[in-house]
Structure 1
Amino acid sequence: MRALVLFPLLLLAAPAIAADIVCEGPFAADSSEARLIEAFGKDNVMTGDVPGPEGSTVLATTIFPNDPAKTIEFGWWDEEKHERVAYFTVPPGDTAPGGLKQGLTVKEVEALNGGPFQLYGFFWDYGGAAIFEGGKLAPPEGACSVSVRFAVGDYPADLNVDAISGDMQISSSEPLLEKVDARVDTVTVGYPDSAAAED
C-alpha cells in the first residue's frame, strides 16, 4: 500500500483523485488539532460539537467541513486538549488500511478479510456494522483498526428481509446480503486509548 504523502496537496486536489490513508502523520495515534492545522491549514480545520450515537453530540475536529467529498472527522481521547486520536472517518473516495473503502460489496470485503465475517442485522441504530475477528481485517492489538458499516441498496418490495433485520449477528455468507445489494457505507479508523493502557 502506498503511503499517503503530501497530505494537503492530495486532499486539496480534485475529488476524483483518491488517496490511500495510512496511520501516520496527521492520522497517527498521537496526532492533535495542532498537527491537523499544520497539515491542512487553519481555514480547513474546525472543532466543535457533531452528531453522536443515539441522538447525542460529541466534540470532534473536522477537516474540510464544507466539502463532503473530502471531509474527515477526528474524535479525541483528550477532548480538552484535542489530542490523541480516538477515531477518524474516511472520505468517500479514499481507501483505509486493509483496502477498505465505501461502495465495496460484502463479497469484496470477504476477499480482503480472507474469509467470512459477522455483521449486525440492518434497520436499527447499529445496523450493518461489521465484526472482524480472526481474519486479515481483525483489529491489531495496540494499533489502528478499521471498522465499516454496510447499508442496503434497492431490493424488491416483496423480498422477505427478516433474516437480516434487527439486533442480531449474521454471517457475511448470508445470500440475502447480495440480494439487497449491501455495500460499505461508512469507514472509520480507530485507536485504543494509549493513556488508559499506561495506567
Structure 2
Amino acid sequence: MNSSIKGIATATLGLLLNYSANPAFALPQKINHPVTVTKSQALTDTLIVPGERVGPITRTTTKQDLVKLFGASHLVDKTISGAEGMGNFAATQLNLNQGRSLLVVWSDNTRTKPLDVRNLGSAWKTREGIGMRTPLSELRKKLGDFKLYGLAWDYGGTILLDNSRLSSYYGKIILRVDAADNAGEKYPNDYRAVSGDATFSSSNPHWKPLGIRLTEIIVVLNPSE
C-alpha cells in the first residue's frame, strides 16, 4: 500500500474509506432540551482545519458538547459499519440546512472522542477553498500536479497528499474524487484508462472528459493508534 495510506492504522483506514451508514441503527435521543444555535458557531463558522477542527467541532468535542452547540433536535445517533465487517462505530448525524450538515464518528460508544468528521455539506471549506464538488481543475490549482488512485475500487479516487503543495495535511484529511454520473458509459476508454489499483497523475488527459469532482471529505481528528 502506498505511503500516503500507511500513515493511518489499517482498521481506521478501512472505516475512513469504505463504510456504510445504516439508518436502521439510528438510536433514540436521550436528551430532550434543545439549545439555540449561535450564529458565530453554527451559521458562519464553516471552516475546515484538517486535523484540528470542523467549525466548532474539535478533537475534544463530545456528544454533550454537540447538544450545547446545536441542540438535541438537530442530532441523530447512529451506528455505522466498518469495511469488510471491521466492526461497528458510534456516530452522530448533525442535520442543519444551507449545506452545513455532517456526521461525527466516535472512537467508542461513550461518544466522548471524535475519530473523524465526514458527510460534509457544501458549505464546509478549507482555507484554500476546497470543499465538496470542487472540480479537478481547481484542485490542481490548490495542490499542484498531484497523484491519486484510480477509480472503481475500495480506495478509488483517493488523493495522495504527501507529495502535493498541501503535504502538511497528510494524515489529517482524506480527499476523494469521482467521475460524473454515467461518465463510464459515455467515455469508457478514458474511464478504464484511469481505473483500478494504480496511481495516476492529476494531469493525465484521460481525466478531462470524466467530470472529476471532489465527492468525499473526511477530516481526521483523533486517528486510531
State the TM-score bracket (shorter-chain normalisation): 0.7 to 0.9
Task: Tell whether 2:96 aligns with 1:60.
Answer: no
What code does the residue aligned with 1:64 have?
Answer: N
8 Å CA contact retained: 1:69, 1:93:
yes
Distance 1:7 1:55, change over 3 A: farther
Alignment of 1:44-123 (within 5 A): 44-54=74-84, 57-64=88-95, 69-77=99-107, 79-89=108-118, 90-113=120-143, 115-123=144-152
Residue 18 of structure 2 is matched in structure 1 by none
| Structure 1: tracts of 5 or more residues without a match | 12-18
Residue 157 of structure 2 is matched in structure 1 by 128
Percentage identity across paired residues of the two chains: 22
For 2:115 and 2:63, the matched residues in 1 are separated by 12
SS of the aligned residue for 1:161 comes to helix
Match of 2:42 among 4, 8, 17: 8
What code does the residue aligned with 1:94 have?
Answer: W
- Alpha-carbon deviation of 1:51? 4.7
- Alpha-carbon deviation of 1:103? 1.5
8 Å CA contact retained: 2:147, 2:201:
yes
For 2:127 and 2:199, the matched residues in 1 are separated by 24
For 1:120 and 1:179, the matched residues in 2 are separated by 17
For 2:43 and 2:188, the matched residues in 1 are separated by 48
8 Å CA contact retained: 1:76, 1:84:
yes
Alignment deviations for residues 74-123 of structure 1 (CA, whole Å, 9 cap, x no partner) = 1122x13212221102212321344211111222112112x121211111
8 Å CA contact retained: 2:47, 2:54:
no
For 1:160 and 1:6, the matched residues in 2 are separated by 45
Aligned positions, number: 180
SS of the aligned residue for 2:189 comes to coil
Residue 197 of structure 2 is matched in structure 1 by 167
Greater helix proportion: 2
Alignment of 1:180-199 (within 5 A): 180-193=210-223, 196=225
Structure 1 length as normaliser, TM-score?
0.76
Match of 2:208 among 153, 163, 178: 178
8 Å CA contact retained: 1:26, 1:36:
no
User: Could you say what the CA RMSD is over the residues aligned between the two structures, in angstroms?
Assistant: 2.9
8 Å CA contact retained: 2:90, 2:109:
no
8 Å CA contact retained: 1:97, 1:146:
no
For 2:55 and 2:138, the matched residues in 1 are separated by 29
Distance 1:51 1:80, change over 3 A: closer
For 2:217 and 2:54, the matched residues in 1 are separated by 17
Residue 148 of structure 1 is matched in structure 2 by 175
Structure 2 length as normaliser, TM-score?
0.68
SS of the aligned residue for 1:159 comes to helix
- Alpha-carbon deviation of 1:7? 2.0
